[in-house]
Structure 1
Amino acid sequence: MYKEIFIVANLVAVTVNANFIDDTLKHTSAFDQELYESVLNPMKCEEQLNLLMNNTYLGMQFIDASGKIPSGILVGNLADLGSYHQCLNIQYLADELDVQGKYCLIHVPLNQNTKMDNSQILDFGKKWSRLDNYTSKAITRSINLKKLAHLLSGTEYSMISRALIPNMQSSMILTLAICVPKVCTPKQVINLIGSLNNINLTFDEYICRLPNDKPVSVADYLSISIFSLILLITIISTSYDLYQTYVLKKETSEIDRLYRSFSIHTNTKRLLSFNYGTGALECVDGIRAISMLWVIFGHTYCLTALNFVSNAAEILTWLTSFRSIWVNSAPISVDTFFMLSGILCVYTVIGKISRWKFIKSLHLFYLYRLLRIFPLLAAVILLQASILHRVSDGPVWTNVGSATESCRRRWWSALLHVQNYVKPLDLCLQHTWYLSVDVQLYIISPVVIVWLFGSAMVAWCSLVAGVVITLAISSVYSFMYNYSAAVVNPRRFDQMGDYFVDYYMNTLPRASPFFIGMLYGYLLHKFKGRNLRMQKSVVATLWALSIALMAFCIFSIYPIMQVDHDEQMFDNFLNAYMRGIWAMTLGWLIFACVYGYGGPINWFLSLQIWKLPARLSYAMYLIHFPLIMIANGSMTSTVYFDDASTMFRGVGNVVFTILAAFILCVFIDAPFSTVQKLLLERG
């Protein structure tokens, strides 16, 4: 029974997030540390505590807003967050005493060495103390399990890399809210209560929050200035466009493109117009949109761990269950985007210009790509560093504060696309490690592209060589490091940090889907405009093989997640080749759909419903993670984890992400893409 209880201890971190943090986070510029220090006054604290003891109603407000011993400890509920907003709203002024509430969180080990009159509580404490032999290992594993919050679907854990569980040799730890007068520290209040009741309570102070404790920073001034300027230009451009269109009755071609580039009217019509020319890969829209939805739902699940979960024990059970396969395999959606990037990298270049012109315009090849992704990335970084930090608040808002601080310090590595190598566990916008890898792959792609002009034999040799080399590199990394193929393998949490640095965010081991995409891009180009005829038996065989291999890539994660799995060679095989296999099968799906062998799959992937989310996918990718962080940080109580409620939150995250992405595209992406085309169209 006690061992089962300590399985719950392995999930402590799921209920605590980066809420156990070191001085690096406590001194972050996202919160006003000087304010916290300046309000402390021990003498006034004594006066106000005496007032609280004599004023029953006022004292009850502080008690009512504080946390209590939570129920459900044996199923992993190790926190009571009290009432955050009620505490901060307490304000009482009388007899020159200005009493205001301050919300604090404290960590209380369950193995208290205290004398208490309640024999049941004492007996409970003794039972916990008998488990000290298991404690260190359990708590250590609980820290690692916290990394779940940033690992699924290709995220990292910069916040969690700074997280520390205090008192590592202690037993399980409760996180309790305590509402105190702002001039007091939690220790002063609890020591007073303990002295009055003959209780010596052992605890650690974590963090305190006050109203208006988010100081104005340089990022705030920059964001207000830049976004105000963009808004002003948008208003002027929209007014010009509407005047030219509806007052002067001019045709679209007669209106100056530059002057209307920021027009909401024009950019909205552009986003909602889906006219595709000959050779368009319409099925790619469905693949891109579905993959993006997969990413959002995957992050909704894994970022649930950033909250205090009231049934944390269920998470471990869920991770090893069959119903979690679609989330555990969600990181493979990243390889879908790598493969699509490789396809378009070749398909949009070959046949348009000659080899010599490509070499001469290589600077434009890079410049177009970098400028195309820069405006939205810079906008979301600026939002995360400033405005998003102020849109809401809550007991676990420290997660958003940590993300804000990371972007204020490391924005440059994100914009330069080097953050997967420069302090890779401390990223601005944790999920954008993918963008850095993708840009790096795009930069080295001309090494292969330059051979695709002219001789088909030379082209195929260079493409095959690129695929073989990248698969070989992935194999070397996989069989050399012996990592688990599952990102969140419960038995191997201790390897996750090294796994992410050495393999998951490393460009070369992740390159095979991109180069396989380049191969398919060339194949699509070679058959472009041709009537391809294939035998039905060949098509049926390729479809059957493709579906079987896709199922293998998704469902092979299940045996790896089981506690008795011990086949390292199978893990190495999956790490080395699973992503390449996924890219190959997805490439066949696109090829078959484009050339008339997709049947109902092509119909489904080419539906109009996928067009808008596909067009918004880059903006959705950038903004969805901060929005989920905001939603989680705004929660004021513990969360009950189950599929139904998490899926419900996932649907909400999708809706808000689409709305935010649409606004970003209308105000940022579409205008700057027009300006970019005007500047570079000659090139």
Structure 2
Amino acid sequence: LSVVSFLVLTLIIAGTLYEIYLTSRLKAALRLQDKEMMNNSETSSGIGCASSDYGDSMAHESLKKESIKESLNELNIVLNIPREVNGGPSSSNNTSDEHLEVHLHEPEKLSVYSELLLSFSAITNFNAICDRNVGADTIPCVHGLRAFSMAWVILGHTCIVVFKYSDNMEMRKEVEKNFFFQAVTNGPFSVDTFFFISGFLVSYLYFRTNAKGKLNKLTKGSSELAAGTAHFLGLVAYRFMRLTAPYMFVLGVVQVTMKYLATYSIFDPPTMDHETCPKYWWRNLLYINTLFPVDQMCMLWSWYLANDTQFYIIGAIILIIGVRHFKLSACTTLVFLVSSWITTAIIAFTNNHRPDTDDPLALFDKIYDKPWTRLGPYLIGMAVGWILFRTNCKIRFPRLTVATLWTLAMLNLFVLVFGLYRADLSQLLAAAYSSLSHSAWALSLAWITIACSTGYGGYINSLLSAPFLYPFSRVTYCAYLVHPIVIRSMALNTDAPLHLGGDTMVILFFGLVVASYLLSFVVSMSFEAPVVTMLKILSPSRKKRIA
């Protein structure tokens, strides 16, 4: 960890200094161009020619603005989205039979190694994370769903850890009887939101990219099987490289910090990561750790990453087939969805799982973390992505339909979160709830996403699409990775048990949110953002475009 941290820090410093150097050179070039344009303007128009003064000055100002605009665009392209830089633009204007022509300097084309170094620039990566704009292919409301769900996850994990290391355990029983505490008890629905968003974005962006012909260019002349295989391997490889660098770094931090805390803390650790990670870290690397017993799992919260990656593999196959064989793809999706419902119901029924009375993490190793019980929201998200792609986000609903769907969606979310308060479900009904509740949650999210994307979101869309949420949304992945480390370190570094109280919990929660996001910004700028940029630089599509 020390060696990796030192190398990454060195690259960040070098990349940042290199960007500062390039920026200073650009500013110097702009000043030189401005001086040349002034001289050319004076020579061509004549300072004493009153009849053409106004027209020439307007031409000069227009050219000056265009020069600065083009130069800044070129710098943005080089630093943020590396691509082939064209030659400098030229502009001309005729005023009183006089011709004014200004040639801008030819910008230097950076080498691949220079672009790779720039991908570590702290200035560029910070600006990219904090950018208040989103791309044309982005559904803005997704950022709000992701940011609020991450806060919900941190709240749930905070309560779990604080309750474990508190000195007034009896108060927990009283707190859990509170009606509004169901929002914490049913926090696992926040993970279903992540699954829904993942499936939605994978489907929507894949079909959009395929419609532009970018995928077909990479496999032009190949057979359908060869092209599909190439697409699948490319999708899986891109995801693996994008996720794994920050994931493995944080896994190393977990192993070291938990070994330290297990040795020096007066409390027992919540999980045995200091023993399981050295033995089973390779399962995390392959994203298969949920296929093994939970007592062997390293980074217990990494179950989500394993499931999401396995869903991604299934989704990639469905999408590749769906481009040319839509009916087969749709039938496959439906079979997977129904199979997940049936499997979950059977497991819940045979184990007499009662979501109304059991701990929300009960049967963690049989129901909670297994991919075959959590697949529903991902597939529903994929279906929504296809719908919005096919309609180009232009769907018209009658007002009564909109009002009805919003009412049903909100009522459904409320019932799922608070509906089990003091409920007593039969074994059969409990199994049905365990089977269908996650997909029911995703159905409400489906309407919210469609409504916000087609102009029926109103104030909810304004909230979910608020630009101030974009930075928090962009570092959600790293926030998910690091927040349990922050929570555990806070609890295990104390020299006495925590004392539960409403005000204390509020302060702890907001403090842990701030600390988690600060750390996630650092990890994202150090590992996630540079890897994403490097993948763009080295992508086959860019090489073909340059060639």
TM-score by length of 2: 0.77
SS of match in other structure, 1:559: coil
**Partner of 2:337 in structure 1?**
467
| Letter paired with 1:273 | D
* Candidates 171, 177, 180, aligned match of 1:323: 180
What do the CA deviations read for 1:206-264 (whole angstroms, capped 9, x no partner)? xxxxxxxxxxxxxxxxx111111111222222222211212454734355421211111
Correspondent of 1:343 among 184, 194, 200: 200
The one-letter amino acid of 2:404's match is T
| Alignment pair present for 1:550 and 2:413 | yes
The equivalences for 1:231-310 within 5 A come to 231-247=9-25, 249=27, 251-252=75-76, 253=78, 255=110, 256-307=114-165, 309-310=166-167
The alpha-carbon deviation at position 677 of structure 1 amounts to: 2.3
Kept in 1, the 8 Å contact 2:262–2:269? The answer is no
Tell me, in whole angstroms, the C-alpha distance in 1 between the residues paired with 2:310 and 2:236.
Answer: 11
Say yes or no: does 1:380 pair with 2:250: yes
Distance 1:566 1:285, change over 3 A: closer
Question: Does the 8 Å CA contact 1:394/1:635 hold for their aligned counterparts?
Answer: no
* Counterpart-to-counterpart distance in 2, 1:286 and 1:428: 30
1:400/1:630 contact within 8 Å kept: no
User: What pairs with 1:497-516 in structure 2 (closer than 5 Å)?
Assistant: 499-516=363-380
How many angstroms does 1:310 deviate by? Answer: 2.2
Tell me how far apart the structure 2 counterparts of residues 483 and 271 of structure 1 sit (CA, whole Å): 42
Alpha-carbon distance, 1:350 to partner? 1.5
Q: How many angstroms apart in 2 are the aligned matches of 1:248 and 1:397?
A: 57
8 Å CA contact retained: 1:394, 1:633: no
How far off its partner does 1:605 sit? 0.5
What are the within-5 Å matches in structure 2 for residues 596-611 of structure 1?
596-611=455-470
Corresponding position of 2:444: 585
Q: Distance in 1 between matches of 2:483 and 2:207?
A: 34
Paired residue type of 2:458: G
2:525 pairs with 1:669: no
Aligned ranges 1:292-441 → 2 under 5 Å: 292-307=150-165, 309-353=166-210, 356=224, 357-386=227-256, 395-396=265-266, 398-399=268-269, 402-441=272-311
The answer to whether 1:518 aligns with 2:382 is yes
Per chain length, whose mean CA-contact separation is higher, i.e. which structure has more relative contact order (CA < 8 Å, sep 6+)?
Answer: 2
**TM-score normalised over the length of structure 1:** 0.62
Does residue 634 in structure 1 map to residue 489 in structure 2? no
Mapped to 1, the partners of 2:532 and 2:358 lie a distance apart of 39
Aligned counterparts of 1:405 and 1:570: Cα–Cα separation in 2: 40
1:15-30 alignment, distance < 5 Å: none
Per-residue displacement from partner, 1:503-549 (whole Å, max 9, x unpaired)? 111111111111111111111111115x3211111111111111111
- Matched position secondary structure for 2:273: helix
Deviations 1:89-114 (A, max 9, x none): xxxxxxxxxxxxxxxxxxxxxxxxxx
Q: Counterparts of 2:344 and 2:473 in 1: how far apart (Å)? A: 30
CA shift in 2, pair 1:489/1:386, >3 Å? closer
Conserved in 1, the CA contact under 8 Å of 2:340 and 2:373?
Answer: yes
Where do 5+ consecutive residues of structure 1 fail to align? 1-222
Aligned residues: CA RMSD: 2.5
Identity fraction in percent: 26
**Alpha-carbon deviations, 1:185-220, whole Å to 9, x = none?**
xxxxxxxxxxxxxxxxxxxxxxxxxxxxxxxxxxxx
Among candidates 466, 474, 483, match of residue 615 of structure 1:
474
Please say if 1:656 is aligned against 2:508.
no
Q: How far apart, in 2, do the equivalents of 1:487 and 1:503 lie?
A: 16
Contact 2:343–2:372 (CA under 8 A) maintained in structure 1: yes
Distance in 2 (CA, whole Å) between partners of 1:245 and 1:487 is 61
- 1:306–1:632 Cα contact (<8 Å) kept: no
- Number of corresponding residues: 449
Q: Does residue 535 of structure 1 match 2:378?
A: no
The answer to whether the 8 Å contact 1:448/1:466 transfers is no
AA in 2 matched with 1:229: L
Aligned-pair CA distance for 1:618? 0.2
Contact kept, 8 Å, 2:348 with 2:434, in 1: the verdict is yes
Which ranges in structure 2 are unaligned for 5 or more consecutive residues? 30-74, 79-108, 217-223, 543-547
Distance verdict in 2 for CA 1:400–1:582, change over 3 Å: closer
Secondary structure at 1:635 match in 2: coil
More helix by share: 2
